[in-house]
């Protein structure tokens, strides 16, 4: 009888450790996406572009080299928007600030909020592609039928010329995909439940 109590205590302790480990793994699972996003934003990993303030951009010298930037725009399946660049490519001197325009139109009969994800190809150029202003920094709400121009003000950091892995890049592709915002998806599900 006396030996059953220590065995039960050991089993309970093992169960608590296992439950604590499971909770820790669950917490790490939820934290991994924001941590990965922060890592990509800091390093430019995976073609993630960098953000620059106006003051930081003012200090960047314009270099002798030039580069071409190609623009691409898409919408996620099921999102009733038309979206794309107004100009397919721009040539610029490295370090020079440029503005590109994208145009979006809500083709539905309801207000809709979208959020844009983005990347740069080749991926190694991501840490040198700096955006000062971008529609992708915030969610965008368009009324039924509304069409708007969405600017991106950017430059390519001259440090791209001194990196052995990127110094020979001649064109960068900046690509955006608009997705229905999580809020709009939740609202659509609520409307469907009420209607059904």
Q: What's the rounded mean pLDDT across residues 95-124? A: 95
Q: What share of the chain is helix, strand, coil (3-state, %, to 5)?
A: 40, 35, 25
With cut-offs at 50, 70 and 90, classify the pLDDT of residue 64: confident
Alpha-carbon span 131 to 145, nearest angstrom:
28
Rounded to two decimals, the pTM is 0.69
Among 82, 112, 77, 105, smallest CA distance to 188 is for: 112
Q: What's the rounded mean pLDDT across residues 30-48? A: 44
Q: Is 57 left (phi over 0), alpha (psi -120 to 50) or beta?
A: alpha
pLDDT for the residue numbered 24: 66
pLDDT for the residue numbered 38: 43
Q: What angle do CA 157, 66, 104 make, to 5 degrees?
A: 75
Say how many C-beta atoms besides its own lie within 10 A of residue 113's C-beta. 16
Q: Is 81 left (phi over 0), alpha (psi -120 to 50) or beta?
A: beta
Backbone torsions φ then ψ of 137, nearest 5 degrees: -75, -20
Mean pLDDT, the chain, rounded, equals 82
With cut-offs at 50, 70 and 90, classify the pLDDT of residue 47: very low
Got the DSSP string for 123-145?
A: GGGGGGEEEEEEGGGS-EEE-TT
pLDDT at residue 135 tops 80: yes
Alpha-carbon span 149 to 107, nearest angstrom:
15
Q: Give buried/exposed letters for 43-69 (b at 16+ CB in 10 A, else e).
A: ebeebbbbebeeeebeebeebeeebeb
Alpha-carbon span 169 to 123, nearest angstrom:
11
């Amino acid at each position: 009888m006396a030996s059953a109590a220590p065995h039960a205590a050991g089993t309970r302790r093992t169960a608590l450790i296992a439950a604590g480990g499971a909770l820790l793994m669950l917490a790490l699972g939820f934290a991994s996406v924001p941590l990965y996003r922060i890592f990509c934003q800091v390093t430019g990993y995976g073609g993630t572009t960098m953000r620059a303030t106006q003051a930081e951009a003012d200090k960047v010298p314009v270099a002798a080299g030039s580069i071409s930037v190609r623009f691409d725009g898409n919408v996620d399946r099921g999102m009733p928007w038309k979206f794309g660049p107004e100009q397919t490519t721009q040539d610029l001197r490295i370090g020079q600030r440029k503005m590109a325009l994208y145009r979006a139109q809500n083709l539905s009969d309801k207000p809709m909020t979208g959020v844009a994800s983005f990347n740069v190809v080749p991926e190694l150029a991501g840490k040198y592609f700096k955006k000062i202003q971008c529609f992708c920094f915030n969610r965008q709400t368009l009324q039924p039928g509304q069409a708007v121009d969405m600017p991106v003000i950017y430059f390519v950091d001259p440090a791209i010329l001194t990196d052995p892995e990127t110094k020979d890049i001649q064109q960068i592709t900046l690509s955006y995909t608009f997705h229905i915002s999580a809020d709009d998806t939740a609202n659509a599900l609520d409307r469907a439940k009420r209607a059904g």
